[in-house]
């Protein structure tokens, strides 16, 4: 596998309800086998609904904005430069509690199969 450079503004994202998803390092963008990284943008007062990443561990990093991460029913508040660890098998939900977009960097290992 060759090294690759990814520029966020050049990545085609997808949007669902309150969230824009920009895949950066994934099996389908660069062929990664052990890691996934994506940038999320959550609209003001928007929510990335509760979900589970199965056997993957996840790091959630707030680039900018204010929000709340709920992990297995426990709520954590954060703003820019705050990081959260989501253990494998945990239920997670991310809410934007601010007036501006919440920009989030998410890293997941191992990545999804598809």
- Decide if 65 is inside a domain: yes
pLDDT tens track of the chain, all 114 residues?
678 777 766 777 788 889 999 999 999 888 899 999 999 999 999 999 999 999 999 999 999 999 999 999 999 999 999 999 999 999 999 999 999 999 999 999 998 876
Contacts of 39 (CB under 8 A, 6+ apart): 8, 21, 22, 24, 63, 103, 104, 105, 106
Residue range of the domain that includes 38: 14-109
Q: In sequence order, which ranges of 5-109 are alpha helices (DSSP H)?
A: none
- The number of distinct structural domains making up the chain is 1
Place of tokens 């977009």: 101
CATH classification at residue 97: 2.60.120.10
- Decide if 89 is inside a domain: yes
Burial call 33-72: b when 16+ CB within 10 Å, e when fewer: eeebbbbbbbeeebbbeeeebeebebebbbeebbbebbbe
- Decide if 43 is inside a domain: yes
pLDDT for the residue numbered 46: 97
Q: Which two tokens stand for residue 45?
A: 């007062």
pLDDT for the residue numbered 112: 83
pLDDT for the residue numbered 81: 97
pTM of the model: 0.90
């Amino acid at each position: 596998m060759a090294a690759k450079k990814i520029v966020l503004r050049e990545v085609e994202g997808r949007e669902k309800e309150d969230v824009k998803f920009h895949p950066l390092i994934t099996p389908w963008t660069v062929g990664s086998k052990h890691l996934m990284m994506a940038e999320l943008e959550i609209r003001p007062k928007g929510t990335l609904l509760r979900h589970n990443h199965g056997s993957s561990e996840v790091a959630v990093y707030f680039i900018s904005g204010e929000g709340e991460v709920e992990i297995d029913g426990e709520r954590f508040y954060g703003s820019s430069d705050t990081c959260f660890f989501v253990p494998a098998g945990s239920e997670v939900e991310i809410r934007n509690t601010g007036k501006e977009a919440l920009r989030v960097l998410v890293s997941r290992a191992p990545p999804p199969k598809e």
